[in-house]
Amino acid sequence: MILKQAADAVRAADIFIITAGAGMGVDSGLPDFRGDHGFWNAYPMYARLGLSFVDCANPEHFERDPAFGWGFYGHRTNLYRETTPHEGFNIIKRWIKRNSADYFVVTSNVDGQFQKAGYADDRILEVHGSIHHLQCSSPCCLTIWENNEQIPINTDTMRARNIPRCKFCREVSRPNILMFGDCSWLSGRTNEQRRRFESFCDANRGKRIVVIEMGAGKAIPTIRFTSESLGEKQGTTVIRINPREADIDSPHISLELGALQGLQKIDSLL
């Protein structure tokens, strides 16, 4: 019944807004950093050092011990470069095409998987930045550039064998990602994406909008708030797909499933 409602909403959509949290990557085989346990499963080396995700995702490392800072982020960069986005990305692309709909992606993930799956760069808002972009760690200027560096890692020590440098002042560079306790993150690229998203929303007011939210938990609720605030507008339906925290007020739709499985189940009814 709920699935049929979701399929009806998808069938009627003029506009898709895809909102994604960390759970979106799980079906592509990406680690879930939920809780220390999840993080240490993915990175046993940090369990031995007694370091949590919050400890590792700290901009101070790039100043104090860049090989350590780049150990964590270089490893993730390599992992995301090697990952193939799961079939769920293609399912939504097919819905967009079938409806001749327009779309926008809002993601808290820094992994670049939507671009990799063929979504247009100017239709994506990366609220926490992107690991595939760099900035100076000082920073000496406001420039953000693409990360084309090779960053081999010694996986025993999780230390980087190459430290990407700022191309302007030769200081250490860092990923253009909002980290914990981060005062030096440059938000220019994300701000520009946000402006594009806001114009997109303005231009599509009054149309039948379906928000498909996947894998966005309550721990860092930015994405959930985005979906809920979009859902307050007339004509907008939110489909919240989440295996553990799917609750949302009606008339919105709650599917207690993983991202891929939820999308496949809706797709099977179309």
Binding stretches for Zn ion (CB under 5 A):
136, 140, 166, 168-169, 171
Q: Which is nearer to Zn ion, 184 or 261 (CB)?
A: 184
Q: Which is nearer to Zn ion, 105 or 166 (CB)?
A: 166
Alpha-carbon span 218 to 232, nearest angstrom: 19
User: Closest approach of Cβ 173 to Zn ion, in Å?
Assistant: 7
Choice between 21 and 139, CB closer to Zn ion? 139
Question: In angstroms, what is the minimal distance from the CB of 62 to Zn ion?
Answer: 12
Least distance from Zn ion to the Cβ atom of residue 213, Å: 37
Nearest approach in angstroms of CB 262 to Zn ion is: 43
Residue 102 pairs with which residues in a beta bridge?
A: 15
- Do residues 71 and 160 make contact, with C-beta atoms less than 8 angstroms apart? yes
Three-point CA angle 88, 241, 211, nearest 5°: 85
**β-sheet with 102-107: strand ranges across:** 124-126, 102-107, 15-20, 209-214, 236-241, 253-255
String of DSSP letters for 138-188: S-SSS--EE------EETTTTEESS--B-TTT-SBEEEEE--TT-SS---H
Residue 86 and residue 28 in contact, taking contact as beta carbons nearer than 8 Å: yes
Minimum distance between the CB of residue 64 and Zn ion, rounded to whole angstroms?
A: 17
- Between 69 and 88, name the residue whose CB sits nearer to Zn ion: 69
Q: In angstroms, give the least distance from the CB of 128 to Zn ion.
A: 21
Instruction: For Zn ion, give the closer residue by CB, 120 or 140.
Output: 140
Task: Compute the distance between CA of residue 62 and CA of residue 211 in angstroms, rounded to an integer.
Answer: 37
The span from the CA of 257 to the CA of 241, in Å, is 6
In the bound complex, what is the minimum distance in angstroms from residue 165's beta carbon to Zn ion?
A: 8
- Between 110 and 134, CB nearer to Zn ion: 134
Q: How far is CA 255 from CA 4, 64, 252, 262, in A?
A: 11, 45, 10, 7
136/178 with CB nearer Zn ion: 136
